[in-house]
């Protein structure tokens, strides 16, 4: 059965019927890689913090937040899929691991910060493969201005400065309108203010991209001399409008690296700064796993050691669906980081008994050594026992 409480970062929290946080994930919570001196994520944080040197820099907020903070305060609808226990990690019904750094927007704005960066570990339940890991890192950046003539003068001056920097630089930008019928300004905003602020967001981020990827001396880019290509795309987030995604052309591929937009006024009202207007972005680390301590290295998503494949076929318990993310968390919990990939290779429903049969293929592999077949069998045995105990499956 489940423990009556979980100990996280030195404190104890009661569990309940929706607790789904596993020991494998719990063990990673204290790591805080983005604050380790020699870790690439820390280097990346330093680069971005130096670019935004006049912003307040935050990097030690607890990953435990209420669902209210993670979702409701940011205008997520009640039926948003992200809230599901299959998609997020819950300690109990009132406490979860943040799924994004935006969960801290209201509290930071409420402190009176009007330009800030916040770096943090974030958690999402997902399938297991070479490009998905349940823990990753994000950096939230935000800037708000007085929603009046003085604030807009500040925006216009900053826009002129940034436009000047970008005009001299080797950067090619594919843009979309700042505001469009499909990506509207908010009803409570003066349309001219929304335009100026959205433009400031774009100029500010184009300038950051230049610092990170541009030119031969580009932070992590190690550019090839060709101009940097940045692409803006209309997007949707419950807590911004208009909203955008940004992609950068890096080593032959378009990489989606951030989401952004003009902050929903409801967020600023909740934060007690109703007379401000501004923007926010959330930069995802996944694009940048490829550089190490001040030096770009070739990204190795996969281990150079051999794979060991094991299949498990089973009938699910009568009337009980087994979500793929539940299966993956059992594997992750038993195998830790010795699992690289989980694939569903067979599925059918028996026409007479109506029972579901599933077969998963698990790829066991270590990043730093050769895994023996005996060791993989041992782990697989534990996976099978856990499936029987926790989900009542019948092995075929
Ligand atoms: N929090 C969003 C995500 O994780 C990104 C985002 C941040 C979008 C800030 C808009 C503004 O996908």
Question: pLDDT tens-digit profile of 101-117?
Answer: 999 999 999 999 999 99
Q: What confidence score (pLDDT) does residue 153 get?
A: 98
Which atom of ligand 1 is found nearest the CA of 281?
9
Question: pLDDT tens-digit profile of 282-338?
Answer: 999 865 554 433 443 444 556 788 899 999 999 998 877 789 999 999 999 999 999
- Higher pLDDT residue, 301 or 269? 269
CA Rg, the chain, in Å? 23
Contact (Cβ atoms closer than 8 angstroms) between residue 143 and residue 158:
no
User: What's the whole-number mean pLDDT along residues 120-145?
Assistant: 91
Q: What is the DSSP string of 124-157?
A: -----BTTB-SEEEEEEEEEEEESSHHHHHHHHH
**CB of 141 sitting under 6 A from ligand 1:** no
Is the pLDDT reported for residue 273 higher than 50? Answer: yes
Q: What confidence score (pLDDT) does residue 318 get?
A: 84
Q: What confidence score (pLDDT) does residue 213 get?
A: 85
**CB of 358 sitting under 6 A from ligand 1:** no
Is the pLDDT reported for residue 172 higher than 70? Answer: yes
Cα(235) to ligand 1 centroid in Å equals 10
- Angle at alpha carbon of residue 311, lines to 306 and 312, rounded to 5°: 145
Residue nearest to atom 7 of ligand 1 (CA): 282
Q: Which two tokens stand for residue 203?
A: 């100029």
Confidence of residue 38 (pLDDT cuts 50, 70, 90): confident
What's the rounded Cα separation, in Å, for the pair 333 and 84? 20
User: What's the whole-number mean pLDDT along residues 257-265?
Assistant: 97
What's the rounded Cα separation, in Å, for the pair 278 and 114? 9
How many angstroms separate the most distant Cα atoms in the chain? 73
Domains defined for the chain, CATH in brackets: 5-296 (3.30.930.10), 308-395 (3.30.70.380)
Cα(29) to ligand 1 centroid in Å equals 21
Q: What confidence score (pLDDT) does residue 364 get?
A: 96
Cα(251) to ligand 1 centroid in Å equals 25
Selection from 200, 198, 119 nearest residue 161 by Cα: 200
Question: Which residue among 259, 260, 266, 285 has the greatest number of ligand 1 atoms within 8 angstroms of its CB, and so is best to mutate?
Answer: 259
Question: Which residue among 282, 283, 286 has the greatest number of ligand 1 atoms within 8 angstroms of its CB, and so is best to mutate?
Answer: 282
Q: What confidence score (pLDDT) does residue 224 get?
A: 67
Is the pLDDT reported for residue 182 higher than 60? Answer: yes
What's the rounded Cα separation, in Å, for the pair 139 and 283? 5
The ipTM of this complex is 0.99
**CB of 102 sitting under 6 A from ligand 1:** yes
- Whole-number mean pLDDT of the chain? 92
**CB of 261 sitting under 6 A from ligand 1:** yes
Q: Which residue has the tokens 């927007």?
A: 105
Q: What confidence score (pLDDT) does residue 221 get?
A: 53
Which atom of ligand 1 is found nearest the CA of 142?
9
Contact (Cβ atoms closer than 8 angstroms) between residue 128 and residue 339:
yes
Q: Which residue has the tokens 């970062």?
A: 9
Least confident range from 21-30, 149-158, 289-298: namely 289-298
Per-residue exposure over 317-355, b if at least 16 CB sit within 10 Å of its own CB, e if not: eeeeebebbbbbbbbbbbbeebbbbbeeeeeeeeeeeee
pTM: 0.89
**CB of 282 sitting under 6 A from ligand 1:** yes
Is the pLDDT reported for residue 124 higher than 50? Answer: yes
Is the pLDDT reported for residue 22 higher than 70? Answer: yes
Is the pLDDT reported for residue 121 higher than 60? Answer: yes
Task: Return the SS3 of 364.
Answer: strand
Cα(365) to ligand 1 centroid in Å equals 33
What is the separation, in whole angstroms, between the first and last Cα of the chain? 25
Cα(101) to ligand 1 centroid in Å equals 8
Question: pLDDT tens-digit profile of 191-213?
Answer: 999 999 999 999 999 999 999 88
Peptide bond into 242 cis (omega under 30): yes
Question: Which residue among 100, 120, 136, 258 has the greatest number of ligand 1 atoms within 8 angstroms of its CB, and so is best to mutate?
Answer: 100
Which atom of ligand 1 is found nearest the CA of 105?
9
Half-sphere exposure for 393 (CA within 13 Å, toward CB): 25
Cα(243) to ligand 1 centroid in Å equals 9
User: What's the whole-number mean pLDDT along residues 120-144?
Assistant: 91
**CB of 260 sitting under 6 A from ligand 1:** yes
Cα(240) to ligand 1 centroid in Å equals 9
What's the rounded Cα separation, in Å, for the pair 309 and 175? 45
Is the pLDDT reported for residue 13 higher than 60? Answer: yes
Beta carbons within 10 angstroms of residue 249's beta carbon: 17
Most confident of 129-133, 234-238, 250-254, 282-286: 234-238
Contact (Cβ atoms closer than 8 angstroms) between residue 385 and residue 334:
no
Q: What confidence score (pLDDT) does residue 293 get?
A: 37
Residue nearest to atom 12 of ligand 1 (CA): 259
Question: pLDDT tens-digit profile of 94-103?
Answer: 999 999 999 9
Q: What confidence score (pLDDT) does residue 294 get?
A: 42
Q: What confidence score (pLDDT) does residue 18 get?
A: 96
Q: Which two tokens stand for residue 137?
A: 């890192």
């Amino acid at each position: 059965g489940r423990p009556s409480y979980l100990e996280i970062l030195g404190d104890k929290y009661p569990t309940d019927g929706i607790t789904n946080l596993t020991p494998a994930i719990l063990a990673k919570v204290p790591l805080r890689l983005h604050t380790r001196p020699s870790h690439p994520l820390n280097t990346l944080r330093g680069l971005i913090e130096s670019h935004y040197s006049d912003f307040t820099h935050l990097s030690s907020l607890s990953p435990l937040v209420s669902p209210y903070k993670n979702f409701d305060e940011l205008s997520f609808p009640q039926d948003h899929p992200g809230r599901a226990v299959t998609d997020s990690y819950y300690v109990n019904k009132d406490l979860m691991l943040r799924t994004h750094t935006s969960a801290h927007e209201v509290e930071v704005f409420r402190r009176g910060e009007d330009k800030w960066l916040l770096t943090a570990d974030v958690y999402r339940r997902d399938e297991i493969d070479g490009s998905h890991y349940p823990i990753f890192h994000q950096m939230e950046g935000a800037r708000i201005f007085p929603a009046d003539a003085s604030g807009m003068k500040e925006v216009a001056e900053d826009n002129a400065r940034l436009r000047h920097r970008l005009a001299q630089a080797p950067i090619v930008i594919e843009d979309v309108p700042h505001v469009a019928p499909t990506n509207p300004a908010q009803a409570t905003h003066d349309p001219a203010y929304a335009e100026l602020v959205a433009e400031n967001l774009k100029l500010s981020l184009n300038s950051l991209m230049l610092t990170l990827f541009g030119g031969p001396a580009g932070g992590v880019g190690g550019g090839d001399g060709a101009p940097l290509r940045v692409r803006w795309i209309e997007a949707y987030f419950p807590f911004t409008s208009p909203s955008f995604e940004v992609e950068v052309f890096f080593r032959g591929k378009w990489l989606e690296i951030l989401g952004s937009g003009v902050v929903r006024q409801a967020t600023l009202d909740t934060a007690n700064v109703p007379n401000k207007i501004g923007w926010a972005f959330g930069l995802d680390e996944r694009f940048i796993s490829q550089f190490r301590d001040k030096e770009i290295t070739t990204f190795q998503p996969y281990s150079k050691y051999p794979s060991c494949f094991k299949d498990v076929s089973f009938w699910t318990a009568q009337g009980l669906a087994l979500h793929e993310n539940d299966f993956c968390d059992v594997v992750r919990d038993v195998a830790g980081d010795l699992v690289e990939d989980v694939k569903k290779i067979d599925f059918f429903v028996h026409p007479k008994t109506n029972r579901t049969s599933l077969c998963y293929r698990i790829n066991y592999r270590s990043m730093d050594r050769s895994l023996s077949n005996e060791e993989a069998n041992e782990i697989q045995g534990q996976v099978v026992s856990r499936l029987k105990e926790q989900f009542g499956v019948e092995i075929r």
